[in-house]
């Protein structure tokens, strides 16, 4: 399979978008549209961000023969590139909305037919994929620099004295500095941020039953000190460079990129102290500070509207936990799990699983907001991975249906068995009021709900057995 790189550079300009005014901001490709202006409505209303909403073809797939997998993956990656390129034209004012959507539909029709043809060579052609070729324009809130910062509502049950006042003042300081406005950094909207002190506790855990597996197994893999970064996604787009269109942080396996195979992963070194060769990765977090990072002109970076200083994690914690209702079974080697949805802005939140919080406030988890943390508190991203496995498949056509989340009572769905649950916790030292955003596909607008984590289990069978014994035996092992 040929290596594919996607080179685009979004050039800010002031041009018309259909019959409403558009402004390209900060090199990040955010289109601000004066809402209702063309209809004679009050043009002082808060502006909105226009983006492109396309059906997720990969998520609709249920069966892909092994011999068709490579061709299907390449076509799915091409669909992502087509949307990213179309968004670049929209953001730069190079195409009117209706014309752009027509061209995009033609491209997608051809590529989706390629997906169906590849599958049809060795199995029944999937039905209904052709209906997924049409895309629409979607609007999302964007910050208006003229807005006055609003003080957050009072919160209850503060975990520490003075936290409420600190959170309020930090939120006001954030707004005063232009945090999240996009007017300087092309980042997420002001409405994407909330002071953590205003959020009520919302974490619930299932009660443990007799027979629960209460132990844990921690893996120490560092904070990506060796700067293992790339915009690939070996799970969703194997063999395609820049398959993610955003930069990933990696710990664990030292060789992971788009062209990794099970054999190459098994032969690679690791940053984990116990020899775990698994690969753990997630989108980088950036300060939207206007500075040119090393990837400012590169795919996955500035070419895909991901700009600003990449933040190195302050701490990365990797831990495997048990089931509230049963013992856990070993994961198969090379099991792949994705948690969260990188396209949740346009796909909807059915698969979203982002958890944002602040140290000292982790009984309050946010799914669709970035936290504004008080002074002395760090930003926290937590990924709680699926902990139920179908017992047969190391992956699935849409990379989701072979694993599942436990129910509210902690039990797995019928036909699934409990496996060790991977929990990744990543902290960042971010100054109160500093603008930041997670890397994303360009059309996903750096929304917090698009955060996600990826994992390939490359533990040796012996190491996995040790983990299972610790978890089922109620011991905390490292």
pLDDT band at 255 (very low <50, low <70, confident <90, very high): very high
pLDDT in tens, 121-140: 999 999 999 999 999 998 87
One domain, residues 195 and 231:
yes
Q: What is the pLDDT of residue 11?
A: 33
Domain annotation covers residue 7: no
pTM above 0.75, yes or no: yes
One domain, residues 188 and 232:
yes
Residue 3 predicted with pLDDT over 50: no
Q: How far apart are CA 11 and CA 32, in angstroms?
A: 15
* CB atoms closer than 10 angstroms to residue 422: 24
Q: What is the pLDDT of residue 162?
A: 40
Helix (H), strand (E), coil (C) string for the chain? CCCCCCCCCCCCCCCEECCEEEEEECCCCEEEECCCHHHCCCCCCCCEEEEEECCCHHHHCCCCCHHHHHHHHHHHHHHHHHHHHHHHHHHHCCCCHHHHHHHHHHHHHHHHHHHHHHHHCCCCCCCCHHHHCCCEEEEEECCCCCCCCCCCCCCCCCCCCCHHHHHHHHHHHHHHCCCCCCCCCCCCCHHHEEEHHHCCCCCCCCCCCCCCCCCEEEECCCCCCCCCEECCCCCCCCCCCCCCCCCEEEEEECCCCCCCCHHHHHHCCECCCCCCCCEEEEECEEECCCCCCCCCCCCCCHHHCCCCEEECCCEEEEEEECCCCCCCCCCCCCCEEEEECCCHHHHCCCCCCCCEEECCCCCCCECCCEEECCCCCCEEEEEECCCEECCCCCCCCCCCCCEECCCCCCCCCCCCEECCEEEEEEEECCCCCCCEEECCCHHHCCCHHHCEEEEECCCCHHHHHHHHHHHHCCCEEC
Residue 466 predicted with pLDDT over 80: yes
Tally of domains within the chain = 2
Q: Which of 111, 141, 171 is the last residue of a domain?
A: 141
CA angle 125/347/36 to nearest 5° reads 130
* Half-sphere exposure in the Cβ direction for 147 (13 Å, CA): 24
Q: What is the pLDDT of residue 418?
A: 98
Residue 60 predicted with pLDDT over 90: yes
Segments forming the whole domain that contains residue 123: 16-141
Domain annotation covers residue 102: yes
One domain, residues 200 and 323:
yes
pLDDT band at 61 (very low <50, low <70, confident <90, very high): very high
pLDDT band at 50 (very low <50, low <70, confident <90, very high): confident
Q: What is the pLDDT of residue 12?
A: 33
Percent over 70 (pLDDT), the chain? 80
Q: What is the pLDDT of residue 190?
A: 87
State the average pLDDT for the chain: 84
One domain, residues 137 and 242:
no
> For 467-473, what is the mean pLDDT?
98
Domain annotation covers residue 362: yes
One domain, residues 328 and 396:
yes
One domain, residues 217 and 128:
no
pLDDT in tens, 187-197: 688 889 999 99
> For 401-421, what is the mean pLDDT?
97
Q: What is the pLDDT of residue 48?
A: 55
Residue 442 predicted with pLDDT over 70: yes
Domain annotation covers residue 84: yes
Q: Which of 108, 141, 174 is the last residue of a domain?
A: 141
One domain, residues 110 and 72:
yes
Q: What is the pLDDT of residue 175?
A: 40
pLDDT in tens, 375-397: 999 999 999 999 999 999 999 99
One domain, residues 225 and 354:
yes
Sheet architecture: strand order including 403-404: 403-404, 388-389, 417-418
pLDDT in tens, 129-187: 999 999 999 887 664 343 333 333 333 333 343 444 444 444 444 343 333 333 333 46
Domain annotation covers residue 57: yes
Q: What is the pLDDT of residue 187?
A: 67
Question: Is residue 95 within 8 Å of 103, Cβ to Cβ?
Answer: yes
Domain annotation covers residue 2: no
Domain annotation covers residue 4: no
One domain, residues 96 and 167:
no
Percent over 90 (pLDDT), the chain? 74
One domain, residues 205 and 64:
no
One domain, residues 129 and 167:
no
Q: What is the pLDDT of residue 155?
A: 33
Q: Which of 110, 141, 172 is the last residue of a domain?
A: 141
Domain annotation covers residue 380: yes
Q: What is the pLDDT of residue 168?
A: 42
One domain, residues 432 and 472:
yes
pLDDT in tens, 70-123: 999 999 999 999 999 999 988 888 877 789 999 999 999 999 999 999 999 999
Instruction: Select from 169, 182, 180, 203 the least CA-distant residue to 375.
Output: 169
């Amino acid at each position: 399979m040929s290596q594919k790189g996607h080179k685009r550079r979004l050039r800010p300009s002031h041009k018309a978008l259909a019959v409403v005014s558009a402004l390209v901001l900060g090199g990040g490709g955010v289109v601000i549209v004066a809402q209702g202006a063309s209809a004679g409505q009050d043009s002082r209303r808060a502006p909105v961000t226009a983006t492109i909403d396309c059906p997720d073809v990969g998520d609709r797939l249920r069966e892909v023969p092994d011999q068709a997998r490579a061709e299907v993956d390449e076509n799915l990656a091409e669909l992502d590139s087509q949307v990213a390129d179309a968004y670049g034209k929209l953001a730069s004012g190079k195409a009117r909305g209706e014309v752009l959507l027509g061209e995009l539909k033609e491209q997608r029709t051809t590529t989706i037919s390629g997906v169906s043809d590849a599958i049809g060579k060795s199995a029944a052609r999937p039905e209904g994929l052709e209906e997924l070729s049409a895309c629409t324009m979607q609007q999302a809130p964007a910050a208006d620099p003229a807005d006055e910062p609003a003080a957050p509502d009072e919160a209850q049950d503060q975990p520490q004295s003075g936290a409420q006042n600190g959170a309020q003042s930090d939120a006001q300081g954030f707004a005063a500095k232009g945090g999240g406005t996009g007017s300087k950094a092309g980042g997420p909207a002001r409405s994407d941020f909330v002071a953590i002190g205003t959020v009520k506790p919302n974490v619930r855990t299932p009660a443990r039953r007799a027979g629960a597996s209460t132990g844990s197994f921690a893996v120490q893999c560092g904070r990506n000190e060796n700067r293992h970064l790339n915009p690939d996604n070996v799970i969703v787009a194997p063999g395609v460079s820049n398959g993610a269109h955003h930069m990933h942080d990696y710990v664990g396996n030292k060789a992971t990129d788009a062209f990794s195979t099970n054999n190459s992963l098994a032969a690679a070194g690791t940053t984990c102290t116990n020899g775990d060769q698994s690969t753990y990765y997630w989108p980088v977090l950036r300060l939207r500070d206007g500075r040119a990072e090393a990837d400012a002109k590169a795919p996955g970076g500035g070419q895909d509207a991901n700009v600003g200083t990449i933040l190195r994690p302050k701490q990365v914690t990797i831990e495997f936990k048990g089931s509230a209702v049963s013992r856990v079974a070993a994961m198969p080697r090379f099991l792949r799990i994705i948690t969260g949805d990188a396209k949740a802005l346009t796909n909807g939140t059915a698969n979203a699983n982002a958890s944002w919080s602040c140290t000292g406030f982790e009984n309050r988890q946010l799914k669709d907001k970035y936290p504004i943390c008080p002074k002395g508190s760090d930003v926290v991203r937590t990924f709680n991975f699926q902990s139920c496995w179908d017992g047969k498949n190391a992956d699935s056509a849409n990379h989701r249906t072979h694993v599942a989340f436990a129910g509210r009572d902690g039990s797995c769905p019928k036909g699934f068995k409990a496996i060790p649950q991977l929990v990744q916790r990543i902290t960042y030292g971010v100054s109160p009021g500093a603008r930041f955003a997670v890397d994303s596909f360009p059309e996903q607008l750096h929304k917090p709900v698009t955060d996600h984590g990826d994992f390939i289990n490359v533990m040796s069978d012996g190491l996995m057995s040790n983990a299972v014994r610790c978890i089922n035996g109620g011991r905390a092992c490292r």
